[in-house]
Structure 1
């Protein structure tokens, strides 16, 4: 069984989908650690409710990105983590983690990359008045949402959709696509 870490910065709905899938036997892995860069984020509460250890670090407390990631790497090694799933983690992964987990870090992004990379992809798509957006799962490299794409699924934007409606549609797809993609990767 693969030992994974999930990195999250916010509410952690994708993290919860991964937790639920492991409990239901749909995802064959052990979530060994949550890494969070936002003290007080809802994902920390989700980890506690599922008895998953959480490493909560504020990057501002470190002198450099390398030092911050070295502290994370130390914890990942202690927990014997083999794979990292980013789930709403709002920081770019640097060389320290990339070199230690080359080809073993994936991210979920709420658009059909390469369209609408970066922050607020749902808002970007909504404001651009596109008819279709979606969800992308990709390997992580040094760029922002630029790594090789593993899976994508389109989400139609209806004329009457609000930004909130679109977010809910995207999240529904995310929760299924991420679990299915991780399951395939772990086989």
Structure 2
């Protein structure tokens, strides 16, 4: 068992070193110009250590960002009152601004967007499960809202955050509520 714990500690350290190295390289290089060789050299680990843990650099970034994004969404789902959920998510978006800016600048925004979409899907399907929509309506409304929220968040964050977070929150709440009301009305009339 001690050997297993030691091996797990080494694996965890290798992952940390690789992640740190890649994030350092991303400060000055686009993701598509960075090689595994550059990352392992900077991390001070072998290529084998990389490939034991990851297949691609994108997979390494996903492994790094996924738990942090999921944890924030889960925190909001489980610990924030319903009427404050959008405000809490807005604060998360604001806090995450430097990461999104780096992702957009350095070519890994698709990773952040996919993680966001996965978590927004869970968020909306959990919070809107009792809204009175059919399964099909909920599925597509969730995708619609996820894409829209991401687009608004991205626009706001990358273009200087000139509007207040409250303005963005109110806009999202209006869009969410009005589209939901229209679908519920359509479902009742069908």
| Bucket of the pairwise TM-score, normalised by the shorter protein | under 0.3
Q: Greater CA radius of gyration, 1 or 2? A: 2
Greater helix proportion: 2
TM-score by length of 2: 0.27
TM-score by length of 1: 0.28
